[in-house]
Every structure is written in structure tokens, then in C-alpha cells.
């Protein structure tokens, strides 16, 4: 039996409390997302705005802001107009948009993962093995949400739709399938990305070669670390927490609490994946301003044996960068002296080079191995 309507000008605390909590959660994240959207455009450049990751970040942020506005409208309407019945289709639309947000976040992580393991680096066979699982699990999630949405839509349009809607939502396995699939999808990307981070750091520490270029290795490692934490680790941890909650016995956790956990989890995933891009963009933006203030934005290296730097280019370098450059040149000179007996031959040594691409893509934040050929002149 439905409760009688409250007196004019009043409302039930049982209605106000969950609605007020939704306002606090949704509005707080929406304000943060608006700021991130502004920062994303402010620190980006014309070239980076054409990148797939940038465009996906913008679309995900805009979609999340729209969901936040809808949630604010729903909560405020429930508080101020208790006699106004919000249709169940409105709630269903918000839920579907939330699932789409999370799939978009994981797709963005997938694009970043592919940028770390390009096809030309792995080869076609290994590349296909790498991308097959995440593509299949995303297709599974899309099919799952379509089936679940269809079932809930039919429940809404049936007699006594509200009761049937709640029953289908609580008893059908599709919600659990989505959350478990999201956790597995996130775990796959997180493990591969963090393994790459550990492998690159280990390779750099054991190479004995000092690298220089646009930003030191430690700074680029910091970019990768924060990308790993905000883009991969945090969404994975919250996905695990979400799965633990949904697997609780029926009745132990109320639907309102589950909805709030989903809202926080989805919003944190969106903020985390976009924050990684904004952080990398801002560091590149500061590097550009610093370099332009010093009279240039890039520098080259050459020497008497084919590796010396011009005085004009050296003037553009900071003290730390010049020190790194000198150490590298000393390493090459010692190598040349040790191999002086190989006159007339060509030897190769492995050095660490950095991509000149903008760090919007992970591969531009990570070092790549290149070979420097040194021709030993005859005496």
C-alpha cells in the first residue's frame, strides 16, 4: 500500500535523504568534470585535439556531465515536487548512459594500451592475440546491456510496471555480468600496462646509458606512473569493490546504496582516465613555455666523431640537460677510444631515445630503443 502524500509544503525524510545524497555525489563530480573539460582544451594543442584519445575523453566528459545534470534534475524534483512522479524510463535512461560511460572509459584504456604495443612492434600475430580478448569482452558487455535494457523496458510497459521493474533489476544476472566483465576488462589492461612500466624502468636501470631529450627519464616515468594510477589502478580497485557489493545476499544492500556506489565508481573512472591526459598535457604545455622562454623548443646533439652540439643549441639547454648531454658524449667518446683498433669499421651501440610526439599517447611518454651507428675513422 502506497504512503499518503505529505502535507503541502512538506516531504518525507525517506524521500529527501537519498535524493540529497545523489545531489551531493552527482553535482560534486559534475563540477570537477566541467573543470577537467576546460583544462583539457586549455592545455591541448591543435595536433593533439585530432588524437583519438583526446576525442574520446571529450565525449566521455560531455556524456558524464549530461548524466550529472539529469541526476540533479531527478533529485531536486523528488525533493521539491514529491507529488510529481518521475517515469521509470527516465531512471532506465540514466542507468544505460552510466554503463555506456564505463564502456567508453575502458575503450579509452584499450586505445592507450594499443599505443604502447603497436602492430609494427609486436607483429600481426601477437598484436591480434593482444587485442582479441579486450575486444571480445567489450562486445559481450555491449550485448549484455542491450539485452538487459530490453528486458527492463518491457517490464516498465507491463501492468504493475514499477514492481516488475524492481524485481527484474534485482534478480536478473545481467547487472552482475556487467560489473564482473568490467573488472576483468580493467584487470587485463592494468596488468599489461603496469608490466610494461616495470619492464621499461628495469631496462633503463640496467642499460647504463644516460638519456637526454625533451624531459628526463624520471619525469617521463612520473607521467606514466600517474597515468597508470589514475587510468588503470583506481578503476580496477573500485570495480572489485563494486563486484563485492553486488554479490552480497539479496536484501543486505539496498538498491539506493548500490546506485550510489555505481555512481561514484563510474564518475571516478571518468575523472581518472581524463586526469591522466590533462596531467600529461599540462606537463608538455609547461615544457613548451619553458623552452620558448629559453629561446627554442628543441635541440640536437653532434660530436667531433659525428656527435657535437652547436653553441647556439647548447644555450637552449638547462644546466641539468647539459650535464646529461655531457655524460652521454663522454660515454660515446670512451666507446670510440676503446674501439680504436676497429678502424674503418662500423659499430653500433644502443642508446635511449624519446619520441618527439606529444605525451597524450602513452607511447610518446615512454622511451623507445634505437641504435646509433658510429663510424670509426682510419688513423
**Which residues contact residue 218 at a Cβ distance below 8 angstroms, ignoring those fewer than 6 apart?**
none
Pairing of strands 367-375, 346-354: antiparallel
How confident is the model at residue 326, as a pLDDT?
Answer: 66
Lowest-confidence region among 103-107, 129-133, 223-227, 326-330: 223-227
Query: 218-240, pLDDT tens digit by residue?
Result: 555 555 556 656 566 677 777 78
- Residue with more model confidence, 147 or 363: 147
Name the burial class of residue 212, with classes exposed (0-12), middle (13-18) and buried (19+) by CB atoms within 10 angstroms of its CB: buried
Q: Cβ distance 50 to 95 under 8 Å? A: no
Lowest-confidence region among 68-77, 154-163, 273-282, 369-378: 369-378
Lowest-confidence region among 95-99, 152-156, 367-371: 367-371
Query: 17-72, pLDDT tens digit by residue?
Result: 888 888 888 888 888 889 988 888 888 888 888 888 888 889 999 999 999 999 99
Mean pLDDT of 315-333: 59
How confident is the model at residue 232, as a pLDDT?
Answer: 65
Instruction: Give Dmax (Cα) for the chain.
Output: 103
Instruction: Report d(CA 72, CA 263) in Å as an integer.
Output: 12
Report domain extents, the chain.
13-291
Q: What predicted TM-score, i.e. pTM, was given to this entire model? A: 0.66
- Residue with more model confidence, 97 or 43: 97
Is the CATH number of domain 13-291 3.40.50? no
Amino acid at each position: 500500500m502506497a504512503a499518503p502524500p505529505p502535507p503541502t509544503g512538506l516531504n518525507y525524510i525517506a524521500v529527501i535523504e537519498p535524493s540529497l545524497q545523489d545531489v551531493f555525489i552527482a553535482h560534486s563530480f559534475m563540477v570537477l568534470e566541467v573543470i577537467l573539460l576546460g583544462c583539457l582544451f586549455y592545455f591541448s594543442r591543435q595536433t593533439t585535439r585530432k588524437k583519438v584519445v583526446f576525442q574520446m575523453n571529450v565525449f566521455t566528459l560531455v556524456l558524464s556531465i549530461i548524466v550529472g545534470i539529469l541526476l540533479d534534475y531527478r533529485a531536486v524534483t523528488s525533493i521539491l515536487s514529491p507529488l510529481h512522479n518521475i517515469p521509470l524510463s527516465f531512471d532506465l535512461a540514466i542507468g544505460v548512459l552510466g554503463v555506456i560511460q564505463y564502456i567508453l572509459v575502458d575503450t579509452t584504456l584499450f586505445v592507450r594500451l594499443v599505443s604502447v604495443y603497436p602492430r609494427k612492434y609486436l607483429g600481426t600475430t601477437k598484436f591480434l592475440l593482444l587485442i582479441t580478448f579486450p575486444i571480445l569482452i567489450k562486445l559481450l558487455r555491449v550485448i549484455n546491456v542491450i539485452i538487459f535494457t530490453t528486458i527492463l523496458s518491457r517490464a516498465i510497459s507491463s501492468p504493475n510496471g514499477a514492481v516488475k521493474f524492481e524485481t527484474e533489476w534485482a534478480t536478473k544476472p545481467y547487472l552482475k555480468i556487467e560489473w564482473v566483465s568490467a573488472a576483468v576488462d580493467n584487470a587485463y589492461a592494468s596488468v599489461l600496462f603496469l608490466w610494461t612500466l616495470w619492464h621499461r624502468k628495469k631496462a633503463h636501470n640496467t642499460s647504463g646509458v644516460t638519456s637526454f631529450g625533451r624531459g628526463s627519464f624520471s619525469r617521463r616515468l612520473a607521467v606514466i606512473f600517474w597515468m597508470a594510477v589514475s587510468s588503470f589502478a583506481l578503476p580496477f580497485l573500485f570495480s572489485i569493490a563494486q563486484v563485492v557489493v553486488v554479490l552480497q545476499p539479496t536484501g543486505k544492500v539496498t538498491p539506493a546504496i548500490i546506485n550510489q556506489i555505481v555512481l561514484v565508481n563510474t564518475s571516478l573512472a571518468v575523472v581518472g582516465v581524463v586526469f591522466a591526459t590533462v596531467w600529461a598535457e599540462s606537463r608538455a604545455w609547461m615544457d613548451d613555455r619553458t623552452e620558448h622562454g629559453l629561446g627554442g623548443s628543441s635541440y640536437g646533439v653532434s660530436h667531433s666523431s659525428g656527435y657535437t652540439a652547436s653553441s647556439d643549441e647548447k644555450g637552449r639547454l638547462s644546466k641539468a640537460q647539459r650535464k646529461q648531454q655531457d655524460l652521454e658524449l663522454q660515454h660515446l667518446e670512451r666507446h670510440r677510444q676503446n674501439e680504436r683498433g676497429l678502424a674503418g669499421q662500423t659499430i653500433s651501440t644502443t642508446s635511449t631515445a624519446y619520441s618527439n610526439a606529444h605525451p597524450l599517447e602513452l607511447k610518446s611518454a615512454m622511451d623507445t630503443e634505437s641504435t646509433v651507428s658510429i663510424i670509426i675513422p682510419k688513423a
